Amino acid sequence: MILKIVQLGTPVLREKARPLSVEEIRSPGVQQLIEWMRETMRDAPGVGLAAPQVGLPLQLAVIEDRAELLETISPARLAELSRKPAPFQVLVNPRIEPAGEQVEFHEGCLSFPGYTALVPRAFAVRVECLNHRGEPVTFRAEGWHARIVQHEVDHLLGAIYIDRMRARTLTTVENWNRYGNARGAAPSGRGSE
C-alpha cells in the first residue's frame, strides 16, 4: 500500500515523535507500517521516509539508496557526494552523534517537493537505534548515507531541512537543474529524500 506523504505545514511534521517500545516494534501493525513505508519511499521515489511524513508521530524511519537511483549521476559527482548504494534499513528510536567535518550539499524532501537548498551536515555519524525486530544496532554512516540518516532523524525531532539550510540557496529543482552549473556545481540527483 502506498501511503499519503504529508506536506510542509502539516502539524505532525513539527512535533517531536514518540519512541516505540520493543513490543510495539514487533507488533503486526508496526511491521505492516514498515513495509508500507518502504513501498511509499520507493514509489516516490526517495531514499528515506520518516513516520511523521506519513502522518504518524513515531520515532521510525526507513532508508534505502538503491543503485538504480544512482545510474543517472556521473561517477565524478557520486565521488564528490561520497554517495553509493545503501541497503534498506529501519531506524527506530535513533540517536546520532556527529563524527566528522561538516559538508554542504543540496537536499530535497518528499514533504516539500520541488525545492532544494544547500544544507550543512556532518560527513559521518555514529548511529544507535533499534532495528525492525526491536534489537539494538550501532553503525557508522558516512557521506550521503550519513546525510540521509541526519535528514530522517531531523524529521523525528520535528525539524525539516529548511531549518538548517543556507537560506539564500533555496530554489526550485527546475531552476537548480537549469542554473546550478552556472554556480560551479552540479545537481545532486534526487536529493536526500
Residues noted as catalytic: 152
Cell reading at 125: 555519524
CA distances from 50 to 94, 102, 159, 164, 174 (A): 11, 23, 11, 18, 25
Distance CA 172, CA 81 (A): 20
CA atoms within 13 A on the CB side of 145: 20
